[in-house]
Amino acid sequence: HVRQMKELKDEGGYIRRWDELFATALDLRDFHDMNVDYLDDGVHIVQFAKDDIQGNEFECAKAIVQAHAGVVDKFVEIGYEEARKNHPVPEGCNALAQE
């Protein structure tokens, strides 16, 4: 799953276009990135706002990364029920995605 998501992000693809958070995260893919380490017993992911952006773009990227992490935590805790929800975009990020 992680490999597929990273490929979609890196190659300009989309998933879950109906979920506002996921759609916006991919609309703003140039503002954030992730490092993935595949381990024998799982995966270690560090997702982050890129250093070469500033101001509102940086704050939005950071907020999207944190919101996405929260959704992943809920998915682990609750299961598939969480994956079917539409998740809100952090305040101020919708405008950036529409530019």
Pairing of β 32-39 and β 42-49 = antiparallel
State the maximum Cα–Cα separation within the chain, in Å, rounded to a whole number. Answer: 42
Helices (H), 12-54: 20-27
Burial class for 45, CB neighbours closer than 10 Å (0-12, 13-18, 19+) = middle
Q: How far apart are CA 62 and CA 68, in angstroms?
A: 10
Task: Between 94 and 27, name the one with better pLDDT.
Answer: 27
User: What pTM, to 2 d.p., does this model score?
Assistant: 0.81
97 band by pLDDT with thresholds 50, 70 and 90 = low
Task: Between 97 and 61, name the one with better pLDDT.
Answer: 61
